[in-house]
Amino acid sequence: MKRVITYGTFDLLHWGHIRLLKRAKEQGDYLIVALSADEFNEIKGKKAYHPYEERRMMLEAIRYVDLVIPECTWGQKRSDIIKYQADVFLMGDDWVNKFDELSDICEVVYLPRTEGISTSKIKNDLEINK
C-alpha cells in the first residue's frame, strides 16, 4: 500500500481543498492529512474560522481522506512520515523546495494550487461584501 501524507489548516473548506485532496489521493492508496491544531495556528499567527475538531470532522467526511492527525509543530513532519510509513509527502506548490530535505525518507511532491480559489480569497471577498 502506498501512503501519502499532506499538511494544512483546511479552514473554510472549499472546492480547491477537495480538488487538492482528490489529487493527493491519486498519488497513492491511503491519504493521511495532518491538520493544524488551533494552538499551532496561534504559533503561526493564523486564526481559523472553525476550531480543530470541526475541521477534523469535515475532513474525515471526505472520501479521499483515510486518516486525520493533528499537526502541532513545524518539526513533526519527519517523525510523522516515519511513524505512519508514508511513501509520499505532498504539499501545494507554494511550498516548492521548502521540504526537499524529506526526500531522503520519501518522495516529495508539490502539486499546483487550484486557480481562483483560496481561504484567503474567501475571507477577503467576505470582508469586501460587508
- The catalytic residues are 44, 46
Lay out the sheet containing 88-92: strands in order across: 67-71, 30-36, 3-8, 88-92, 107-111
At 11, the amino acid letter reads D
CA gap 107, 87 in Å, rounded: 6
Cell numbers found for residue 97:
523546495
Positive/negative CA dihedral, 93, 98, 99, 104: positive
Residue with cell 496561534: 42
Which residues sit opposite 35 in a β-bridge? 8, 70
